[in-house]
Structure 1
Amino acid sequence: MSVQQFLEEQNLKVQDLHHNITNASWMAQTTGEKEWAQKVAEAQTEFRTYFSNPEALDAIENFLKETDVSELERRQLETLQKTFKENQLPENTLKELSQLSAELNHMFNTYEPEVNGKKLSANDVRNILINSLDLQERENAWKASKEVGKVVEEKLLTLIKVRNEAAKAVGYANYHEMAFKNQELDREEIFSIFQKLVDLSDSTYRQLKHQLDEELAAKFGITVSDLRPWHYVDPFFQEAPATEKTNLDPYFKDQDIEKLTADTFAAMNIPIDDLYAKSDLNPRSGKNPTAFCTDMDRNGDTRVLCNNQPDAYWMGTMLHEFGHAAYFKYLDRELPYILRSPAHTLTTEAIAMLFGKMTENKEWLETFLKLENDRLETLAPALEKFEQLKMLIAGRWIITFVFFEKELYENPDQDLNALWWKLVNEIQLVNPPEERDHPDWAAKIHFTLAPVYYQNYLLGELTSAQLHQYIKTEVSEQFFNPTVGNFLNEQFFKPGSKYHWNEKIKRATGQSLNPQYFVDAYCR
């Protein structure tokens, strides 16, 4: 069989297997019905079983040795090779991995915490942490948001150990090491970059965090030393709380955030409003309480799940998720199916983050929210400082998660609760609750839904900073216009995964990923 025939067969098979997973997963995430969670497990098992074929892996590795293979063919073979290598496992192991993952996702999607007999949605918890001055109510809501950790802990640790066993069976020390390798990421390099970001941002972060803590202590009538995780606006301290000056929620109270999102992308000649028809944007019981975007078929059926409310958080989330969606929609459909996806998770996160931050962008507020110039001139300096704090808080949170996850896979039997709060305290500078031995770490769905993924958020932020600076200096000073949209479409979206992610960044911006742009923007 020629390499052309082999790849043609693989593309058709991968397309079929991929669509089975995305269809079942979408139904599971939007209905919360257990039968769909089971169908996800079955579809994932079928996918993994297909890729466990050692003869196909041998064929790929032989083709890669040939000298007359084109670059496009080589890229497809390398992509297939990674997937086949990680699935060279017994069928019962593959089935167990898929089953455990599906069961855990169902548990997360359907769990509703309670306080005094009242069920709280994720939006309810968020609203309490943003708005309530009742310290007991805040503490109760925060603790309730963590209860799912206790519910899933045992099964999640089982899944982590099965993942590790599977990785060892195909030649890796643990699942974390295998995942980095298959994502074309150098673990030593990435962790070195992240530690360097902690060091370079330390002085600025400590100064801004201290200012924030003094403001919160005054707001709640307590001392800074009394601050605990429930005094911040996010259960994991992922976000900076808006001040009176930077609270944009009132500006969105009567706005149609779906229209604002559509208008943003339309102004750049990359319209996405046609994707609303199959998306699921409003909150209801049973569906996934967070937000995500999925490319159903790599042929135009791209969908977003949100739980919208008319506020700044969900406005930013819509822009973020439809940043993903624009990337998926405008991939070159002439590419082979295997390459018709983003160059890397970090490159699609870069686009999502580029757009998600626009709610604090002066040009966006003027163009789409129609804020008057006088108001903008008052808002702009405070929003610029707010964005810096947001980025540093988000960066520290991501690094906390990433450092913890590495140690989690290296030794899942250690005292994980103590490790979690040690890292939260050292990196995020958040005081742990007293006498608490609870799996708060396990309440974060990414350990289940997207294992060894979180580093891509920060890598996406680094890429976003580099891309934004390049656009401003080399493409257009104004962001929301067709020139910028066409640049993103041609240089970032269309090539798909035709190139290695760092080659893609270099082709788009003139240089490989350079963290200095993020440092210059936010660590000053």
Structure 2
Amino acid sequence: MLVLALSLLFAQGGEKLMYPLTTQGFSEFLSQHEKTVAPLEREANLAWWEAATTGKEEAYAKQAELQTKLETVYTDPKAFAYLKELRAKGVVQDPKLSRQLEILYLKYLGRQLDPELLKQIIGKATAAEQKFATFRGKVNSQEVTDNQIEEVLRSSRNREERKAYWLASKQVGAALAPDVVALVKLRNQAAQKLGFRDFFALQLALNEQDEAWLFNLFDELDRLTAEAFRQLKARIDQVQGQRLGVQPEELMPWDYTDRFFQEAPNLSDLDLDAPLKDKDLVALVASFYQGIGLDPQPILARSDLFERPGKNPHAFCTDIDRQGDVRVLANVKPNQYWLDTMLHELAHGVYSYYVDRSLPYFLRADAHIFVTEGVAMLFGRLAQNARFYLAMGLIGEDQLPAFEKAMTDKLRAQALIFSRWCQVMLRFEKSLYQNPDQDLDALWWSLVERYQGLKRPAEAPKGAWASKIHIVSAPVYYHNYCLGDLYASQLHAAIVRELYPGADPANVVYVANPKVGEFFKKRVFGPGASLPWPKFVEFSTGSPLSPQVFAQQFVGQQATAAKPAK
């Protein structure tokens, strides 16, 4: 048994620790712990990959079993007691060892649970993920894929068709909502046993994020973007109303260009997908990364990139073993959405691949989840930059003015729209975990109306909120995408300042500049998780995390009270 194996690190009865409360003792603990968890992590990650790429029942069962075994390692109370006491005494002074101590302490803290409760949580989450991955909404009794839904919402001028496909996208939420509420209650039960208010508070603590700081930052971002978003939304409503033949005040959620109004519509008459038709997006994105000195081929060789039945319909990147086995799952189509997605996911990939492998095992990871999201978002923004298209040979000089105007508008709209969508997700999840028995549909639509300006349709099915997979598979995570956007703006400003002095940041697209890759290897990827995230942000960008640079870039004003990182 894994728990027994780890418990043998301690004397019988736990009266005397076999590892002394010294730096050397902790080093020995680390060595044994790595031998235990590294092979298990690899097996669990491979099982997850098989489940996501095949959708097979037995693959999901195997993944749940292995994940439970891995998580159970961290439930050992004796190992946790050792780490807790070592941390309290402050005897580990070496920076890398101290950082590993903090990482492992938090990992153990979040799993000091009854193994049976942990098994229930993992089992219910895995079952929900499987249902989500294999569920297909129906239109006129015919199953439709996510790509079909996205295409209709992006391009159809038939409002009845749009409505039917939008409603189909919410059917999975109606099917999953009771299971998600049950999962939320189990997660809360686990968090409260650890002394936390609820699972939301626990997750923030485990991710080294102060709740008051986080909501102050989001409140400040709300103030900075509210008026700019209001004006943008009025323009979007005018354009969409004209396209669909209705007055702006008659628009409903299915009249926007994605399922959650988290993506920016194309407000011009240009077909922004046209330059990508019949293009090999995988080869295109690979050549870009190759040109900046970040070779993606080892990642692509192991990846699964195209749509097929039973496969997870979304996109993600996963690091299998912290030794270079990094993979991307995608469902690529030749359009702007998938150009953005492939730039994004391969950014995650090169981050994991280029972390300094001489670092200790537990530091071979990103500095923080929002940091890797920020890097991915930074590269994803290139899909909305006409100068990137020009540099990659997708458009000609004569097309640049028109595409530049359309794409600049769309990128700004994307930043503002997504920041408002993140407000919904953060505040919904906090309230969801505070009271899962409340009317969650009313909560969801009140936030959607407040921050996104969308009306609740009478036809909205119950459980529409549960159609967002992150609530199941990445709980209390979504706000990190927004923090990532803020970090992306700061990081781009630092790159321009150091590698392109005097250049207009909007025109810098990195193409064929290997110095960009060197910057990322040295300042972003290389350090891995060796620094606490506030120090890392200052190391890589030169300033603490705040909304200021993001506001300058997309709103045109400075934050009036940027908050210090915590």
- Aligned with 1:294: secondary structure? strand
Q: Distance in 2 between matches of 1:134 and 1:375?
A: 30
2:553 match: 521
> By how many angstroms is 1:299 displaced?
0.5
Q: Structure 1 residue 79 and structure 2 residue 89: aligned? A: no
State how far apart, in whole Å, the 2-side matches of 1:12 and 1:355 are. 35
Give the counterpart of 1:491 among 523, 535, 546.
Answer: 523
**Partner residue of 2:6?**
none
Please give the alpha-carbon distance, in whole angstroms, between the structure 2 residues aligned to 1:242 and 1:320.
20
Query: In structure 1, what residue type is equivalent to 2:39?
Result: D
Residue of structure 2 equivalent to 1:25 = 48
The yes-or-no answer on 1:372 pairing with 2:396 is: yes
SS in 2 for 1:304: strand
Measure how far apart 1:25 and its partner are. 0.6
User: What letter corresponds to residue 45 of structure 1 in structure 2?
Assistant: T
Q: In 1, distance between residues paired with 2:116 and 2:29? A: 27
For each residue in 1:67-102, what CA deviation from the matched residue of structure 2 results, as whole angstroms up to 9, or x when unmatched? 354111111111010111111111110110110011
| Structure-2 residue corresponding to 1:143 | 167
Q: Aligned equivalents of 1:200 and 1:504: distance in 2?
A: 25
Structure 2 counterparts to residues 392-407 of structure 1, below 5 A = 392-407=416-431
* Residues 266 and 406, structure 2, Cα contact 8 Å, conserved in 1: no
1:308 correspondence with 2:340: no
Moved over 6 A (4+): none
**Partner SS for 1:238:** coil
1:506 corresponds to: 538
- The DSSP-based 3-state class of the residue aligned with 1:343 is coil
Give TM-score, length-normalised by structure 1.
Answer: 0.98
Alpha-carbon offset, residue 433 of structure 1: 0.5
Report the CA distance between 1:437 and its aligned residue: 5.2
1:363 shift after superposition: 3.2
| Cα deviation 1:286-320 (Å, max 9, x = unaligned) | 11101000001111110000001011110110000
The residue aligned with 2:256 is 232
Whether the 8 Å CA contact 2:275–2:394 is kept in 1: the answer is no
**2:496 match:** 472
Alignment of 1:291-306 (within 5 A): 291-306=315-330
Three-state SS of the structure 2 residue aligned to 1:413 is coil
Q: Where do 1:84-483 residues align within 5 Å?
A: 84-245=108-269, 247-434=271-458, 436=460, 438-476=462-500, 477=503, 478=508, 479-480=510-511, 481-483=513-515
TM-score by length of 2: 0.91
Q: Deviations over 1:120-139 (max 9, x none)?
A: 00001011111211111110
Amino acid in the other structure paired with 1:371: I
**% identical equivalent positions:** 37
State how far apart, in whole Å, the 2-side matches of 1:14 and 1:472 are. 41
Q: Which moved more, 1:444-453 or 1:473-482?
A: 473-482
1:13 to 2:45 alignment: no
Listed as ranges, the gaps of 5+ residues in structure 2 are: 1-18, 20-24, 557-566
Contact 2:174 2:461 (8 Å CA) reproduced: no
Task: Work out whether residues 261 and 319 of structure 1, in 8 Å CA contact, stay in contact via their aligned partners in 2.
Answer: yes
Could you give the per-residue CA deviations for residues 349-388 of structure 1, whole angstroms, max 9, x where no partner exists?
0110011110122331121134222211222123212211
1:49 paired with 2:72, answer yes
Matched, 1:35 2:35: no
CA distance in 1, matches of 2:271, 2:547: 29
Deviation at 1:245, TM superposition (A): 4.2
Q: How many residues align?
A: 524
Distance of 1:456 and 1:322 partners within structure 2: 18
**Structure 1 contact 239–390 (Cα < 8 Å) conserved:** yes
Letter in 1 for 2:37: V
**8 Å CA contact retained: 1:63, 1:69:** no
Q: Distance in 1 between the 2:349 and 2:76 partners?
A: 33
Match of residue 58, structure 1, among 70, 78, 81: 81
Which amino acid in structure 2 is aligned with residue 220 of structure 1? L
Contact 1:246 1:386 in 2 (8 A): no
Q: Distance in 2 between matches of 1:356 and 1:247?
A: 19
Counterpart residue type for residue 98 of structure 2 = R
On the 8 A contact 1:282/1:307 being kept in 2, the answer is: yes
Q: Give 2:8's aligned residue.
A: none
Counterpart residue type for residue 294 of structure 1: T
- Deviation for aligned residue 1:244: 3.8
8 Å Cα contact 1:281-1:305 kept in structure 2: yes
The superposition leaves residues 415-460 of structure 1 with CA deviations (integer Å, 9 ceiling, x where unpaired) of 0001100100110001110264511000110011111110100000
Cα RMSD, aligned residues only = 1.2
Q: Deviations over 1:152-186 (max 9, x none)?
A: 11111111000000000011010000000000111
